[in-house]
């Protein structure tokens, strides 16, 4: 079993985690600016320290159905040279998560499976947290689209 310091956040009714070492910061956005003709998963952009940062709604990226919830926080991550904001409905906690690797047979069965590093249980096993490999969430094409937003 691996122990890892993570930030647990909510997307709709699910709880996800990103390792602390992948996070550059967590902000409460003043305004997310909608971008015309953007892919469904792109919530918009924010300006931070003079830089334009794309904000992604993972619920749309992962095909989760349900009502679009308000973005309460933006988790800033770095993927290669691109800084990206992950829209979150709420930050739950920072936690030392014990993650177990997924069975190899489950990887690749769905798009989401390719970007899961593992599943973790909190408490008495009554909460399951999905630990994301944030670098695997976006394709090169998607990253290229987001890079064009700051030019």
Which pTM does this prediction carry?
Answer: 0.82
Question: Does CATH place domain 2-148 in 2.40.50.180?
Answer: yes
Q: pLDDT truncated to tens, each residue of the chain (151 aa)?
A: 557 788 999 888 888 999 999 999 999 877 888 888 888 889 999 998 888 999 999 888 888 777 676 778 899 999 988 899 999 888 777 877 654 543 444 444 455 567 887 777 776 667 778 888 888 898 888 888 888 876 5
Domain ranges of the chain: 2-148
CA angle (132, 19, 73) in 5-degree steps: 85
Q: Report how far residue 63's alpha carbon sits from residue 66's, in angstroms, rounded to the nearest whole number.
A: 10
């Amino acid at each position: 079993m691996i122990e890892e310091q993570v930030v647990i956040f909510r997307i709709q009714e699910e709880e996800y985690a990103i390792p602390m070492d992948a996070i550059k910061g967590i902000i409460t956005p003043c305004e997310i600016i909608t971008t015309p003709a953007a892919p469904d998963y792109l919530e918009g952009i924010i300006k931070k320290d003079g830089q334009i940062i794309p904000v992604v709604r993972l619920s749309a990226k992962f095909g989760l159905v349900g009502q679009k919830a308000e973005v309460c926080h933006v988790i800033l991550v770095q993927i290669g040279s691109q800084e990206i904001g992950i829209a979150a409905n709420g930050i739950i906690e920072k936690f030392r998560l014990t993650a177990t690797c997924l069975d190899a047979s489950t990887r690749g069965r769905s798009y989401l499976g390719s970007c899961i590093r593992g599943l973790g249980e909190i408490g008495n096993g009554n909460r399951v947290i999905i630990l994301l490999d944030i670098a695997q969430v976006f394709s090169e094409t998607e990253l290229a689209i987001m890079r064009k937003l700051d030019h």
